[in-house]
Structure 1
Amino acid sequence: MTSPSRDQPPRLTEDARDTAVRRVQEAYAGGHISHDKMDEHLHQVLAATRHSELDPVLASLPEDEAAKAEGPAGAEGKVDTASTIAAVSGRIKRGGAWRVPRFLRVESAFGRVHLDLSRALLDQPVVDIELRLGTGRAKITVPRGATVELEGLRTVWKDTHYKSPRRPVPGGPTIRILGTMGYGRLRVRHARR
């Protein structure tokens, strides 16, 4: 039995990849990089197999605010700005008066997703919802006055169904939907009230 070479750097972990994806998204959300640059960086991060391949991407981003807040004392003072809802199969459903984080990641391999933000508590003027969906449908209901941005979403099989309101209501939150959908369809609609 041969042992792996000690000279070879360790493979990239999913936690490190997720952290890099979050940093790229935060840089975009903070206006530090353009949408095209975010796409380029995300492609590099998702294709990386070694930590050294992330270095050029991470070096071009502003310092990680969560790491600065954490400081040398550990997790004290750390602000939770992201949340993940995940299921392999079955249904993911959120509705009512639930608190929506600044960054929300939704992961599902085979199930259906229904997020109703019409009565949700949105503490931030901009919310990023990252979809990582394999198959199955997704439906997102946004508040009546919300602005919806879909430029960061990649679909493999079906197009996204979204019709912007004829008379936009000023002052609402911005909901940016990004990520990847495999073989399902995303429907986004505005709440009626």
Structure 2
Amino acid sequence: MPIEPRVRISDDDRDRTVQRLQRAFAAGLITREEMDDRLELAFTARSHGDLAPAVADLPDEPVDEVVELNSTSGRVKRAGDWLVPRRLRIISGYGGANLDLSQTVIDHPEIEIDLQLAYGSATIILPSGATANADAVVTNWGNTTCKVPGRPTPGKLHVRVTGQLGYGHVKIRYARKPFN
């Protein structure tokens, strides 16, 4: 459904446009001067019609793809410096998932992690200040524990956790502080 040009934009609309301009500049599609002009346009726009010219001549952004990590009988583990996709699906028959996002590269203000675990649990470790919402997780024989704030905070990562667990639990927390 097309967006009506007279509809007012939100901060999220403006942020997405700014990020798109930054990616276009990094890819060499626009010059520094064009970037400055377009950013000014984006920051002063009030409606979708005002915002559209800032990106009108740029190529369409690729559609978000879902990155799937599959395991039949082992745990899916990711830690350290890794690039987190905007949408990540973990599928496992007899295993769980350990996802440490505390030292990762995350190019998106919001990411989605979809857990499809038949027999297994998941632990998701977030960077300091990140928020998470796990209301869409269904567990048949287990529970969901989220030890971080659930409401998004402007300028901080927000993680939406969804999915289905047959036998297992989900724990979302910050990284533990090292002992001195």
Match 2:67 to one of 83, 101, 106: 83
Match 2:132 to one of 139, 148, 154: 148
Is the partner of 2:119 in helix, strand or coil? coil
Structure 2 distance, partners of 1:153, 1:112, is: 14
Shift of 1:78: 5.2
Flag structure 1 segments of 5+ consecutive residues without an equivalent.
Answer: 1-29, 32-76
Output the amino acid matched with 2:70: A
Per-residue CA distance 1:118-137 (angstroms, 9 max, x = gap): 01111000000000001112
Percent of residue pairs bearing the same amino acid type: 41
Structure 2 distance, partners of 1:147, 1:141, is: 11
CA separation of 1:149 and 1:102: change in aligned 2, threshold 3 A: same
Report the equivalent of 1:108: 92
1:162 matches 2:131: no
Is the partner of 1:172 in helix, strand or coil? coil
Shift of 1:80: 5.5
Structure 2 distance, partners of 1:181, 1:87, is: 14
Map 1:47-58 to 2 at 5 A.
none
Checking the alignment, whether the CA contact within 8 Å between 2:134 and 2:146 is kept in structure 1 is: no
CA RMSD of aligned residues (A): 2.5
Structure 2 distance, partners of 1:121, 1:189, is: 18
Structure 2 distance, partners of 1:136, 1:79, is: 31
Checking the alignment, whether the CA contact within 8 Å between 1:144 and 1:169 is kept in structure 2 is: no
Report the equivalent of 1:117: 101
Which protein shows a greater Rg?
2
Name whichever structure is richer in strand by fraction. Answer: 2
Any runs of at least 4 consecutive aligned residues in structure 1 with deviations exceeding 6 A, and if so which?
none
Structure 1 distance, partners of 2:148, 2:96, is: 23
Output the amino acid matched with 2:79: G
Match 1:181 to one of 161, 165, 169: 165
Provide the TM-score with structure 2 as the length reference.
0.59
Structure 2 distance, partners of 1:120, 1:180, is: 25
Provide the TM-score with structure 1 as the length reference.
0.55
Output the amino acid matched with 2:169: R
Structure 1 distance, partners of 2:147, 2:62, is: 38
Q: When the two structures are aligned, how many residues end up with a matched partner? A: 117
Match 2:119 to one of 117, 135, 153: 135
